[in-house]
Amino acid sequence: MLTVRISQDAWQGSAQYTITVDGTQIGGVRTANASHSAGKYDTISIPGIGAGPHKVAVKFLNDAWGGTAATDRNLYVDGIYLDGVSQGVSAKLSTTGTRDFSIGTSGGQGVAYVGEQILPAGWKPDVVESFNSGKGIFSHSWGPGVDTSVKGQLTIRSTWDDKDSGAMVKPAGAEKGFGYGLYSFTVKAEGHIGPYALLWPSTDKWPGPELDVLEILSNGQPYSTVHWKNASGGDSYRSNMWNGVDETQKHTYSLLWEHGRLTGFVDGKQMWTTTSNVPKDYAHGGENLAPSLGMQTRWNNGELGGKNWITAYEFSYADMNPLG
Ligand SMILES: [Ca+2]
């Protein structure tokens, strides 16, 4: 995984830029957020970039200058990391134009398994919930179908009386839960319609940014969905299929949430990516998200009696800031 740290001097608007790797532009026009003078930076994580060498080009698109140091828009590349290893480069782009970097000459290992997580070698998750002590951080729970009887597993079942059940990190405010980063759920699920692993708005207000990591269609097709609050205040959504994945087997479903980009993985393999309707985390003016596992029985009328379930073996979160 390639990670680029970006910051800016904002003046009459923010610096805009593009990132190109080995001649291919990654995503669209990006807008810097973090203030260089405040010592902050945006972290842009680009999965699927393994061992080098690579050519990385950062293009500053919209320089502006009002004649003084205080009236100057600039873009900074504060660092480039390959698989968490600093490539020892940085640059200030004070005028519109492109800066090229050659990286990866000392190698890298690409995205790989570390336990159940898909993290580059040398990176560590910030949070790991292995369900060895009941619900763990998924302590905010409801309904009759929450089963912690097996150590190391959290199972949510549908029940004969068709009650919703679930367990989640408590959605206790915009700054709670987790922000940009890599979320992984190691789960298996059986049945049609109802079982889910998702990220819920940490304000607990819906419609809002809901990122469904795993849901199942009535024909057994697993999929993920991005929900957002539309201009008229209602819910809009778009789904991405987990094609070729058998959800009845244990898999690790991961969602990489970056500024302006969402990417889905199964067992470390990238399955889809999108730059449309990507929510912002709390640090960037939006709200964080709260991981949740559950059973929405409203979806599975006619399939009652406890045969729908989801079992989680692990949840992890890594903020993807290099080296912790
Ligand atoms: Ca400038």
The domain segmentation of the chain, as residue ranges, is 2-109, 124-318
pLDDT at 108: 35
Q: How many Å lie between the centroid of ligand 1 and the Cα of residue 58?
A: 15
Q: How many Å lie between the centroid of ligand 1 and the Cα of residue 67?
A: 10
Per-residue pLDDT for 247 more than 70?
yes
Pairing assessment for the beta strands 91-93 and 195-201 based on DSSP bridges = unpaired
- CATH for the stretch 124-318: 2.60.120.200
pLDDT at 71: 96
CA-CA distance, 206 to 292, in Å (whole number)? 14
Q: How many Å lie between the centroid of ligand 1 and the Cα of residue 169?
A: 44
Mean pLDDT for the chain overall? 87
Q: Is 246 strand, coil or helix? A: coil
Query: pTM (2 decimals)?
Result: 0.68
Q: How many Å lie between the centroid of ligand 1 and the Cα of residue 318?
A: 34
Please answer whether residues 229 and 244 qualify as being in contact, where contact means their C-beta atoms are separated by less than 8 angstroms: no
Per-residue pLDDT for 322 more than 70?
no
pLDDT at 123: 66
Per-residue pLDDT for 229 more than 80?
yes
DSSP 278: P
Confidence of residue 1 (pLDDT cuts 50, 70, 90): confident
**Strands, E assignment, 83-221:** 85-86, 91-93, 97-103, 111-114, 117-120, 127-129, 140-142, 146-147, 154-157, 165-168, 181-190, 195-201, 210-216
Q: How many Å lie between the centroid of ligand 1 and the Cα of residue 35?
A: 14
Q: How many Å lie between the centroid of ligand 1 and the Cα of residue 246?
A: 52
Confidence of residue 290 (pLDDT cuts 50, 70, 90): very high
- Options 3.40.50.970, 3.40.50.300, 2.60.60.40, 3.20.20.70; CATH of 2-109: 2.60.60.40
Percent of the chain at pLDDT exceeding 70: 90
Q: How many Å lie between the centroid of ligand 1 and the Cα of residue 28?
A: 22
Q: How many Å lie between the centroid of ligand 1 and the Cα of residue 41?
A: 18
Pairing assessment for the beta strands 42-46 and 2-9 based on DSSP bridges = antiparallel
Q: How many Å lie between the centroid of ligand 1 and the Cα of residue 131?
A: 51
Q: How many Å lie between the centroid of ligand 1 and the Cα of residue 160?
A: 65
Q: How many Å lie between the centroid of ligand 1 and the Cα of residue 234?
A: 41
Q: How many Å lie between the centroid of ligand 1 and the Cα of residue 73?
A: 4
Q: How many Å lie between the centroid of ligand 1 and the Cα of residue 99?
A: 14
| Closest C-alpha among 30, 39, 37 to residue 4 | 30
